[in-house]
């Protein structure tokens, strides 16, 4: 009897221990699994908006510090601490809201809020989308990056010069993110440069999405984008370091290059710029620049083989050329001095 009792007691203890271990495991895992995502960064007109308190997500809505967001968007703010009521005015719009209420008033007209404002750790927080849109701005939540973009644009300075797809994410690997085609002649506003390949843009009908930054698609340009694209160009060319030289190499393959087929390939691959096949014709593209005003990505042309222009190289910055002409070296970097300065004819800027 005592033995049976001891056995039962052991089994019970094992079960209790197992349950305790399971509970401990669950307690250990669940907090990590349930941990909230980091607060979303907020961009206003393309610039990261510094907020005194991080945004919080409540019922799918972003709540942000009241005064910081309203004043950043150009509103004059007054606060009645007794009634916990904020009044924001911008241009001809007056917004009135009592913290905790599910309604606000725009010029006396009652509007419903899906998520009321509230006080979080002593800071008055209000729903970003409602107040930003009420002040005449456009708001977009980018789920791919968990960021919020606010645009106050009222002018559309950039022209689409070649029909391009507006996309919901800065990625062309799939067609699933295509919003619609922007035809030639469409006017857009560039909010910010994501990288060398993508622009965040706003359309005239209030969409905030992404468009290719490659030069063929729009007339947008900036010094910062040019720098990014020049770096992209040199990075693309560097992929072919050591590739053998072959005079007259076909531009339809990458096993061998001559100077101009290499340049043509790199500009097409990196920036979708379709240059002529031979260096003489490439020297007619873009604008001429002085040898004292060279920038990374410029094309440099040289006399060769008895021709006024018989060789082309990409200026890689810091006095370096990226080119090919030698069966021994193939594609390589080389210092821009000596014979190259003696044989230099002209430089052209494509970017």
User: Tokens in use for 323?
Assistant: 């080119």
Would you say the CATH fold of 153-221 matches that of 42-139? no
On the 0-12 / 13-18 / 19+ scale of CB atoms within 10 A, 200 is buried
What 8-state DSSP symbol labels residue 297?
A: T
The catalytically annotated residue of 142, 187, 259, 332 is: 259
What is the H or E stretch that residue 136 is in? none
pLDDT of residue 37: 76
- What dotted CATH number matches 42-139? 3.30.457.10
The catalytically annotated residue of 28, 142, 189, 323 is: 323
d(CA 325, CA 259): 6
d(CA 351, CA 295): 10
Arch. (CATH architecture) of 153-221: Roll (2.30)
pLDDT of residue 30: 36
Whole-number mean pLDDT of the chain?
90
d(CA 280, CA 149): 46
What is the domain partition of the chain in residue ranges?
A: 42-139, 153-221, 224-349
The low-confidence residues of the chain, meaning pLDDT below 50, are 1-35
The catalytically annotated residue of 28, 142, 187, 311 is: 311
Q: Hey, what CATH class is 224-349 in?
A: alpha beta
Are 336 and 300 spatial neighbours (Cβ–Cβ below 8 Å)?
A: yes
d(CA 61, CA 40): 11
d(CA 160, CA 220): 9
Are 266 and 314 spatial neighbours (Cβ–Cβ below 8 Å)?
A: yes
Tell me the sheet residues that pair with 317. Answer: 320
Catalytic residue flag (residue 142): no
pLDDT of residue 128: 96
Catalytic residue flag (residue 332): no
pLDDT of residue 36: 59
Residue 84: CB atoms within 10 Å = 15
Four-CA torsion 125, 129, 134, 137, nearest 10 degrees: 120
């Amino acid at each position: 009897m005592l033995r049976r009792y001891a056995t039962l007691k052991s089994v019970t203890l094992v079960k209790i221990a197992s349950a305790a271990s399971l509970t401990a495991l669950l307690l250990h895992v669940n907090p990590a699994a349930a941990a909230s995502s980091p607060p979303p960064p907020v961009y206003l007109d393309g610039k990261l908006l510094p907020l005194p308190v991080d945004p919080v997500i409540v019922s799918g809505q972003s709540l942000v510090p009241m005064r910081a967001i309203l004043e950043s968007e150009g509103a004059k703010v007054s606060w009645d601490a007794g009634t916990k009521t904020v009044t924001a005015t911008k241009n001809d719009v007056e917004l009135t809201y009592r913290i905790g209420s599910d309604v606000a008033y725009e010029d006396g007209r009652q509007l419903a809020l899906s998520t009321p404002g509230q006080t979080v750790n002593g800071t008055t927080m209000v729903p970003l989308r409602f107040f930003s849109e009420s002040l005449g701005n456009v708001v977009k939540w980018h789920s791919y990056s968990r960021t919020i973009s606010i645009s106050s644009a009222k002018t559309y300075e950039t022209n689409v010069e070649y029909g391009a797809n507006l996309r919901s994410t800065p990625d062309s690997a799939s067609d699933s993110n295509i919003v619609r085609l922007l035809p030639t002649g469409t006017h857009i506003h560039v909010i910010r440069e994501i990288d060398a390949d993508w622009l965040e843009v706003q359309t005239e009908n209030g969409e905030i999405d992404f468009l290719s930054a490659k030069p063929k698609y729009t007339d947008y340009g900036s010094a910062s984008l040019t720098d990014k694209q020049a770096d992209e160009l040199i990075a693309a060319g560097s992929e072919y370091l050591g590739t053998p030289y072959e005079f007259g190499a076909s531009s339809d393959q990458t096993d061998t290059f001559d100077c101009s087929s290499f340049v043509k390939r790199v500009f097409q691959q990196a920036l979708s710029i379709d240059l002529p096949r031979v260096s003489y014709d490439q020297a007619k593209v873009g604008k001429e620049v002085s040898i004292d005003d060279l920038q990374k990505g410029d094309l440099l042309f040289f006399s060769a083989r008895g021709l006024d222009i018989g060789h082309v190289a990409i200026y890689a910055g810091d006095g370096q050329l990226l080119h090919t002409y030698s069966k021994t070296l193939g594609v390589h970097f080389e210092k821009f001095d000596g014979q190259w300065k003696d044989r230099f004819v002209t430089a052209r800027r494509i970017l």
